[in-house]
A and B are shown apart, each in its own frame.
Chain A
Amino acid sequence: MSSRTITIKQAINEAHHEEFARDDSVIIMGCDVGIRGNPFGVTTGLYDKFGAERVRDTPISEAAIVGACLGAAITGLRPIGEILFSDWITIPMDQIVNQIAKIRYMFGGKTNVPLVIRAPVGAGGGQAAQHSQSFESWFSHVPGLQVVMPITPYDAKGLLKTAIRGNDPVLFFEHKRGYEITGLVPEDDYTIPFGEAVIRREGADVTIVAISIMVHRVLKAAEELSALGIECEVIDPRTIYPFDYDTVLKSIRKTHRLIVSHEATRRSGIGAEIVSQVVERGFEELDEKPMIVAGLNVAMPYNHTLESMVIPDEENIKQTVLQMMDRV
């Protein structure tokens, strides 16, 4: 299978084009997804190729957009709903939590709910308190949903295709700082199953589970730590729910140390759940208390210096690892 190097943005765009061509029940709706091709260029070309019936620019009505995705999903379409910034997912929250997540169960399993909600997450760039957040832990908390956070072009394309073809609702979170990340992507069609983590770097000293953009920051830190003789094993779970605990548990049987890192606010974040699960299932393997490197529990400030204090970076990871290895 021949591959070429493309960006995450291009990979997501290709997944849309290919799934639209493959299945005419796939549609997309959201603010600016049509004529403008989405602010990041993610849906470029879809409107021209597949037309206004299937590629729908919407008014700024997130609850109606997401609710309409559900109504369309249970009557035979495979809708993709886009939220321009994931921070605004608070607006259709009832539709996601009380309707989309529940409808199959409370109606006795009678309906499939094949829908995807895509939204860019992530901080950086002075976007302040309402354009910087990552809410993966909220949706992981709700039975009935799936949460996907790819951070390579290969994963973004393969996981989005799986999301579109599946019969259960998916929250698909793309990191804004990740759209230009490049990587090899096969020319041919492929999908990636949910719930399968990838080991991005092997190492025998510390297991670091990194979510979304933190994968790249952790890999940089791991490179620097390697020069100091500390080898990190970096795991990218790719999907937050379902979550691949087997890969993490296997890794700590080797390293006996665990760090979890996400950009979202630390308090009640997904890191707390991952640590709790690993402790419950593999406490006897851990030689050190597990640590979480995450966003500070504060609203995202605008000022660059203040902002960089809130977002976890390579240095935070490095320091945490050194501390765990008794090297400070």
Chain B
Amino acid sequence: MKTSAISMDESLAKLKIFKNEVMQELQAPEDLSKEQVLEIFRKMALIREFDSRVKTLWKQNFIYGLAHAYLGAEAVGVGACAALKEGDYITSTHRGHGHVISMGGDVNKMMSELMGKADGYCKGKGGSMHIASVDDGMLGATGIVGSGMPIAVGAALTASVKKKDYVTICFHGDGGTNQGVWHESINLAAAWQLPVIFLCENNQWAISMNYERATGNPAVADRAIGYGIPGVTVDGFNPFAVYEAVRDAVKRARAGKGPSLIEARYYRYIGHFVADDERYRDTSTNNPWAEQMDPIKRMREYLIESKTATEKEVKAIEQSAIDLVEASIEHAKNAPEPSEDTLWDGLYSSEFMKTYGGK
């Protein structure tokens, strides 16, 4: 009997296939300026640093509830959101920290939210799993896998009805692709030709369930044909590959040509969430995916080799991420707790609460 979903040998074999079939060489596209390329790295480094600190803060009990890290996925969110402009929207998953930073969110407000503080993005009502920076176009993280799909379709519907040219990216995971609402939502968006990009962050694991055991065809992008929309698979460890695919899909969407499905394939080489012991897979050695595919490491090397930045400049960017996150931790630790009289705030609109009290 199998004691783990995947042995180390199987993991290595999968990595080899990934390298042969999915991995794309890092090469900044011509339409990105040097400053934009560095901004991509800046955001990736910030996500890395932010989520690297979260697990420790959780163990120290500064972070109270559940938290799901975006580690290893940095290239997906940042690469995708680099193709957006102001006024565009995204919907998120339960792994939302990376999406907030990708949309230019504030790490102080996010760390405060993780610590349940009053000045957090959700005033201490949402925590990590419901992190939302609505003003930046980030329409919120959700704890129900796949549930953001129709919400993204609705945001795209508003663009269609109001004749606006914004687009919506719907981030979701491979776990979400086997929810009924995933299919319903893509079908509806395709039927109505709505300006939405369905971006599957295929990390190949739904907690302990490996994607190859979860479906008859583990190539998510293949499903696009069933809805009559374009579907592509890109290297999810590569921000430029993600950027280019999303840029093309955004262009289609803005031109009224409807939705696209993009599968950014990567690999979750950390636990599902802060307390996951990963007993479902072999953790006896360092994960080879982390060692060989790490997107931060690849970007760091690329920036220096391509002479986009010097080693010193790269280090300065990483140091700046460390400083920002350190400051956010200090900020959040010292931020006020929500007062007890805010318990009911936001349950209904303020006009409702005034009339009925909400209770």
Contacts and interface: CB of A to CB of B under 8 A. Distances in A.
B132 interface: yes
B194 to A, nearest CB: 9
Contacts of B150: 63-68, 70-71, 95
Given A53-B161, A61-B187, A105-B125, A75 B346 contact: no
B188 A71 contact: no
A106 B126 contact: yes
A56 B158 CA distance: 13
Nearest to B113: A108
Nearest to A113: B349
Interface in B305-359: 345-349, 351-352, 355-356, 358
Nearest to B357: A242
A104 interface: yes
A77 B123 CA distance: 25
Interface string B137-181: 001101110010111111111111110000010000000000011
B155 A64 contact: no
Nearest to A52: B192
Nearest to B135: A110
A98 B147 contact: yes
B204 interface: no
Interface in A211-236: none
Interface string A81-123: 0000000000000110011000111111111100000000000
B154 A72 contact: yes
A70 B147 CA distance: 11
A69 B162 contact: no
A63 B181 contact: yes
A76 B162 contact: yes
B100 interface: no
Contact of B122 (A61, A76, A107, A195): A107
A146 B157 CA distance: 24
Interface bin, chain A: 35 or more
Given A107-B132, A110-B134, A74 B352 contact: no
B346 A108 contact: yes
B66 interface: no
A127 interface: no
A166 interface: yes
Which of A53, A59, A69, A72 is the most central at the interface, judged by chain B CB atoms within 10 Å of its CB?
A: A72
B349 A99 contact: no
A68 B97 CA distance: 24
A71 B153 contact: yes
Interface string A1-44: 00000000000000000000000010100000000000000000
A80 to B, nearest CB: 13
Contact of A109 (B159, B181, B191, B345): B345
Given A63-B180, A71-B157, A74-B139, A167 B349 contact: yes
Given A72-B158, A75-B89, A77-B158, A98 B349 contact: no
Contact of A104 (B124, B147, B348): B348
Contacts of B184: 59, 61, 63-64
Interface string A120-152: 000000000000000000000001101000000
14 contacts: A27-B157, A54-B161, A64-B184, A68-B151, A70-B151, A71-B139, A74-B155, A75-B158, A76-B162, A98-B142, A105-B346, A107-B126, A108-B120, A168-B349
Given A75-B139, A105-B346, 14 more contacts: A53-B161, A54-B161, A61-B187, A71-B168, A75-B158, A77-B162, A94-B144, A98-B147, A104-B349, A106-B130, A107-B140, A107-B346, A110-B122, A112-B349
Interface of A: 25, 27, 53-54, 56, 58-59, 61, 63-77, 79, 94-95, 98-99, 103-112, 143-144, 146, 166-168, 193-195, 242
| 7 A-B pairs closest in CB distance | A71-B154, A67-B150, A109-B346, A64-B184, A108-B122, A61-B184, A68-B154
